[in-house]
A and B are shown apart, each in its own frame.
Chain A
């Protein structure tokens, strides 16, 4: 193996001449700050926990035998669900706080440029990339317009919906004099029969399951096929562009 010629930009210890000729210049931007990344993975874990335990609350595991005092199966499942719910909700509050103090990318999750025509043009363009009309996608530092659409409509609004209905349901057990009921009792003005709140909360879980399928698929696909890094960005915070072309 021949080492890279003198004056090469490749300085790795094991670099070869071939590596040096194959290297391209890449730009990298710091997009996701530490708290956003930590929040992302904590929330991912919480949502997974909530979906599994939530499903088991609606459709419990097969009955156990023996004395009731020997078991606490449903109790533990519900405890895990409530704890994960608190983690999710507190994380969401921290995330909202960070939207105020963090960089401008941390605000994208909470903004939806409904009135901007160029935004909708971007959505259509990005959709055409997903319908295989384009060879190359555009590059974006933050979310692309289509991703922003799904993020805001499904994830951001979904988070508010699930946290609010979740705490309203929790308030039923906590009691009418609890702070949870004081803050979230109004949900029962909209749905007087709490069975409907259960039904909607359950449908919300399925909306999140669909969201997770699409989110993970899109992240993997974009990581491979797009012109920028995806998955590693949520680990390191760095958005790396694979080329320096203009368009």
Chain B
């Protein structure tokens, strides 16, 4: 357990991480925050002198892909630092303690670091039936979440489950899975969506809070601007093929071999806000589009309900599969066109009949006057 005066640097050094790696971490984090090299020493100083911020990592209704990504994909220099920063206090996936012993840690941190710790939430609380569809430690997750959030400094909604609801909140959302910011309303909630999200965002946010003693600037949906203010499409290395009009039409065509734009086969890059195309994954090796598969838009709200993944146009609910805007609009336009043709034909007949009637009436009138 930590004491109040311990710094991140102390912890990192105790874990056997060299000062060189530590400084590399500071430099990389400054860059990923868009701060420029001058801020690396400032970050280093903050991490050396200020008491570290404890991070509690709670798991609700989720698949643990966030944690899985987290413990693997960070830059090798960063990885150890990340684990030192995050896993120390409480994370039921990777901590050593278990059972009552582990649960006690939660209460202890809540008291000793009241108003100071950061609550990272992976997954979301299902609210239906009093929250019984998610019972870690034998209690509804929603209760524990509210309790831990009430004494935290800020909440990080980690991943699409916590930020938007993700697959368990996809229609029809049987357990009423609810995003964290709809449940925790008295603390700032920083959303870091993605399925899973990028690990560097977590360390960057914690480092930012430590260094500048304020929360990073958030966009209108509560996402840190430095990672979520541009779409995958805006910085995609295949963008020139999009502008040129060079697309993969089929998965095994020449365009796919040449690395053309995946727009026509359903890439959601143009509607997805994330840093994948710049930060990338697995030690910066690649990201979905670079591997030849379109973005599925996993960091966007309700991306499960905006499919299919392999078509540009989304299915419009509640219409059946393949009921996209063109299918629906085209059908309505065809019906309107057909109705117009039928109405025009009927109008011609009616017009002719009216003319004939009027002629007859005039004739009858004339006969009457003459006769």
Contact = CB atoms under 8 A, between A and B. Distances in A.
Interface of A: 58-65, 68-75, 77, 130, 132, 135, 172-173, 175-176, 185, 188-189, 192-196, 198-199, 202-203, 205-207, 209-210, 213-214, 217, 221, 224-225
Interface stretch (B22-30, B98-106, B237-245, B282-290): B237-245
Contact of B306 (A71, A193, A203): A193
A175 B263 CA distance: 21
B136 to A, nearest CB: 28
A74 B242 contact: yes
B100 to A, nearest CB: 40
B350 interface: yes
Given A63-B246, A195-B268, A210 B241 contact: no
Interface string B254-276: 01000010011000100100000
Q: Name the interface size band of chain B.
A: 35 or more
Given A69-B240, A176-B229, A203 B328 contact: yes
Given A59-B326, A213-B337, A196 B306 contact: yes
Interface of B: 164, 219-221, 225, 229-231, 234, 240-249, 255, 260, 263-264, 268, 271, 297, 300-303, 306, 312-314, 316, 324-326, 328-330, 332-333, 336-337, 340, 343-344, 346-347, 350-351, 354, 357
25 contacts: A64-B245, A65-B246, A72-B244, A73-B244, A77-B245, A130-B343, A135-B354, A173-B234, A175-B229, A175-B230, A176-B219, A192-B164, A192-B300, A192-B302, A193-B271, A193-B297, A193-B300, A193-B301, A194-B300, A202-B313, A203-B325, A205-B325, A206-B330, A214-B340, A225-B347
Contacts of B248: 63
B243 A72 contact: yes
Contacts of B244: 64, 68-75
B230 to A, nearest CB: 8
Given A64-B244, A195-B306, A132 B329 contact: no
A193 B249 CA distance: 25
Nearest to B312: A58
Given A68-B241, A74-B242, 4 more contacts: A58-B326, A74-B243, A206-B333, A209-B333
| Max chain B C-beta neighbours (<10 A), residue from A64, A73, A194 | A194
Contacts of A214: 336, 340
A75 B343 CA distance: 41
A60 B263 contact: yes
**6 closest pairs, A vs B, by CB?**
A206-B329, A73-B245, A71-B244, A202-B325, A195-B271, A68-B244
A63 B336 contact: no
